[in-house]
Chain A
Amino acid sequence: MANPFTNVHIHIFNDECIPDRFLRILAPKFIRQNAPLIQKGLETKVGKFLVRTLAWAVSKDKNRGTAQKMISFLDIGTRNSQKEVFEIALAAGKITDSQVRIIALTLNMDYMDSQPSSARMISFETQLAKVMEIKRFYPHNIFPFLGVDPRHKSGTDMLNWAKKYFETGLKVDGKTYPYFCGIKLYPALGYFPFDARLHELYQYAEAHNIPVMTHCTRVGNQYVGNAIENLIPDAPKMIPFVDDEGIKDRIYARIKRFREEDGWIKNSDNGDNDFACDLFGHPENYIPLAKAYPNLKICIAHIGGSSEIDRTKINAKDKKAYETLLKADDFPNGKKTWFDYTIEVMKAHPNIYTDISYTLSDFEQKGVPPEKNVVLQRVITELLLAKDNAGKPLSRKVLFGTDFFMTEQEKHEAELYASTQATLAPWMDAIARENPQEFIMQPL
């Protein structure tokens, strides 16, 4: 019998899990500047109506769809509970498979903001306790990953804390599940994945076959607070690994350049810290992990992002942004996109996976000529046909995920399932049923 259809990448946090200025992660400047006000407004029905009307009124005709999608995204994020958010994703997944498995990625946003948040924000432990409740209600459907941040706990303290979530569980219908079955990293929140404070946790994860899901697109999070120099030392301490490629030098060189370039450090309260986020989330930052823990499964999510696969889109949309990107990109290795880097790391290291979450929202883009849509499809198909440096097919390391509810800014969840199954039909069993099970190894 085929494994259940699995979506390896969704988020279910709601507005009680986020800091007051969370909306600064979004690109539109107006939203970033007025983030607390908009967040407050969205708490009430009248506020939602006003924000929706305002968004409609201020956006130009061609941007109105974007504004409405943004509102749809905010609408889900302001649901009463994480359970409600999860149930939306579950309903969409069940259209494809009634036994759908969904990996819910928790995020610790306690350190996202240097300013204190209102009492409404719940502690990260409380967020996790609520996710554990969802696991009790949907034991066969939800598979939570534990969000970690070295600023929260470190070393053995982090490990002992994490064990409480990996080594507790429940037995239902003869199957015993842990409450949490993986680790979630989100470096763009303000830390490096190779941070030495995570070493003990990675060792444990490797020994217990606990996978790591990370985030890897440019920017990802516009906002990392207003004290960036403190977050990014000249030479951050790394996990121990054999540096036979000079990777440490390359990473430190990137940091040096970031600190020296005029205007790259933006200690702004209104976000716009894209260069800093890029520094944290660079695909090469995972090489130390791949080398130090060869049996630790790490999924570098999003394959670098669809805009890195087809950069003509950025060029067409915003020439200035494109030129800045070319300038920022790929020091000191020459011109390489994050997509190139991700594939390179995947090919060199058998324990590195990727997923097509968020990127898949660009399949069958409305209003885009078919020949343009084909680029993404062609590139992903080539990736699925490619082989790694040992001659093994890369397709065994590609996973299906959607990145719900971030993707509500682009398409609804059910549409993403449908368009992906239409676009990658021959590969669906591999990327959505076999590979995910290989990745999470949860009881069938």
Chain B
Amino acid sequence: MKNITQSSIIEVLISLTLIYALLSIFVSLLIEWWNSKRRTRQTMLQNAINQLLKDSLNLDYGALFYNHHMIAGLKNPESNRLPQYISSSMFAEAFVDVMAAQAIHTQKIRLSETNDKGKQYELEGDSPPENVIDRFQVAVKAMNTSPLKDALQSFIDKSMVKDVDGKKVLDYPTLKKNLEIWYNDYMERVGGWYKAKLKRKQYVFGFLVALLLNVDSLHLVKVISMDDSLRNSLVATAEKVADNYQKTADSLKSDNGVLLKVISSGIDSIKLKENLKDPIIKTKLAKLDSNFITKKAKMVLINDSISAKTISQTDSLLGIAASLNIPIGWSTKTAPLSWSWKKKLMGCGCNVKCTHKKGPGLQAYLDYRNHCTTWWNLFWYILGISISGVALSFGAPFWFDMMIKLVNIRRSGAKPQPSKDKE
């Protein structure tokens, strides 16, 4: 086996970070799709607003808030999805309206007479004010004493200004601003809860992707370190990708589509085009026309923009992975599907002998790994998958940043020797 130099180690690490960055995009694509299907963002926002405005001594104002025309109007009429985001300005305006509407419900009536046209009622006492701001005050005053009432009364008190006659009146812009600050502060906390929830999902989906694409990190390290041609190609791509990533605006660095473009910009365009010609998922879905159920399932799966986008971006991602010749994916000729556990466990047990010997060189390693059904191979495989799972949960931005650092380290050192294969 060839001696691994310091430079080679950096090159292997750069190659690995490129692969992790690419596959982390896949993880985040899947999480985005899952969140969209599970309506995670919408539900979390709704739950957060319900919690903020829930008042067990009065009403669930959050539920009334979502009935407000401005908020209900944000719902997607086709998918029935709630809004993922509500601006602080919209929150304040809708909330004031919701509270003000409760004042209308306090209008007293009394029975005046009963005649052949039924019971006749008449209005009694003061009518609710016509002005929405005044109604807001009346509604808060009419609430049972509760922590929410105290908070709202405090906002009212802090939003009082003197009018031209020196009389204290509620100033709507100040009230709105106070409500906006309250909402924004709360949403900052909610953002934190969302990120914590996302982190847990990243672990789960990281492992799922590692299994789904058969990403064995230990195998990757071995192959990359032994295959100079693959390593050089990955490093060259990583350098271009690192340069392009640095040029990308920070605001776009969390956009999966942009990140995929950044990676594909580092790949030979002809090769990439060839691999994108026949998108895997779209082709497989197109074949799902055999019966009613699968047809329906297909419609449900692709008939929304998020699913369509996920499928399209996954196809691009798989095309990129194919262009990079990364040793991942499932095949009956490679481990673990190439292993004969059935023979080992059911038939002749441990008598199945491996004819391949451990030895130097890529081919000897591959033969031993793919064709020797041993407990050690299984152990290393499980460890490799687990490492990949953990690595992929760090997220694409982490791996892009790591890649840039490693590329910079490599650039600051001596130029690597050209590979023997190329010679």
Residues in chain A within 8 A of chain B (CB atoms): 16, 44-46, 49, 53, 80-81, 83, 119, 122-123, 125-126, 129-130, 132-133, 136, 167-171, 176-179, 208-209, 437, 440-444
Contact = CB atoms under 8 A, between A and B. Distances in A.
B293 A130 contact: no
Given A46-B37, A49-B296, A133-B67, A176 B121 contact: yes
A441 B59 contact: no
A45 B300 contact: yes
B105 A168 contact: yes
- Chain B CB count within 10 A is highest, among A126, A171, A444, for A126
Nearest to A177: B121
B164 interface: no
- Chain A CB count within 10 A is highest, among B37, B105, B107, B296, for B105
Nearest to B58: A125
Main secondary structure of the interface of A (DSSP, over half): mixed
B106 interface: yes
A125 B56 CA distance: 10
Given A49-B296, A81-B67, A136-B104, A169 B111 contact: no
A125 B58 CA distance: 8
Contacts of B80: 45, 80
B199 interface: no
A136 B67 CA distance: 14
A36 to B, nearest CB: 16
Given A168-B109, A169-B121, A176-B123, A130 B64 contact: yes
A264 B309 CA distance: 57
Interface string B93-125: 000000001101111111100100111111100
A125 B120 CA distance: 26
Contacts of A176: 109, 120-123
A119 B51 contact: yes
The 4 A-B pairs with the shortest beta carbon distances in the complex, nearest first, are A169-B109, A176-B121, A126-B60, A444-B117
B121 A129 contact: no
Contacts of B102: 129
Given A126-B63, A130-B67, A441 B119 contact: yes
A208 B109 CA distance: 13
A208 B110 CA distance: 10
A375 B109 CA distance: 47
B120 A443 contact: yes
Given A81-B67, A119-B47, A437 B118 contact: yes
Nearest to A444: B117
A130 B119 contact: no
B119 to A, nearest CB: 5
Nearest to B78: A45
Contacts of B293: 53
Contacts of B177: none
Contacts of B273: none
Given A45-B300, A81-B72, A168-B109, 16 more contacts: A45-B79, A53-B293, A80-B80, A81-B67, A122-B60, A126-B59, A129-B102, A129-B105, A132-B105, A136-B104, A168-B106, A177-B121, A178-B109, A208-B111, A443-B117, A443-B119
Contacts of B110: 167
A340 to B, nearest CB: 33
Contacts of A83: 67
Contacts of A209: 114, 119
A394 B56 CA distance: 46
A44 B35 CA distance: 13
Interface string B115-154: 0011111110000000000000000000000000000000
Nearest to A43: B39
A398 B293 CA distance: 48
